[in-house]
Amino acid sequence: MDTEQLLRTVAGRLDALAARTTSGDWRTSGLLASRPEVVAHLHDGSTEHVAEARAGTGAWIATFSPTLAAPLASWLRAAAAHGPAEPAAEAFARALLARLP
């Protein structure tokens, strides 16, 4: 598989995974028992506890484990080092910046 095909394949799989995951803007809202309470704020204004939607969110959480931190950080550094950043890299960085502590 060439690089372009690899990137398209991974992007497609990521889109498919996101489509079957609890949608919305996930936010922590304190503790639920002894675990962080994660609530999805949906586009229609409603909310859903992500814990109540485990079947749809488990694969998302596992996919975005801390293992991805190093390659994503490397990608952002490489994008910054080569002149104007690609719009996708900038959008990704802005989205993360809004979420990172």
Please give the average per-residue pLDDT across 25-41, as a whole number: 80
Query: Is 39 in contact with 47 (CB distance < 8 Å)?
Result: yes
The whole-chain average pLDDT of the chain stands at: 83
Q: Quick one: pLDDT at residue 45?
A: 92
Q: Is the dihedral of CA 8, 85, 65, 39 positive or negative?
A: negative
Task: Look at the pTM and tell me if it is higher than 0.75.
Answer: no
Delimit the domains of the chain by residue range: 1-64, 65-101
Amino acid at 36: P
Q: Quick one: pLDDT at residue 44?
A: 94
Q: Quick one: pLDDT at residue 63?
A: 85
Give 53-67 pLDDT, tens digit per residue. 777 788 888 888 888
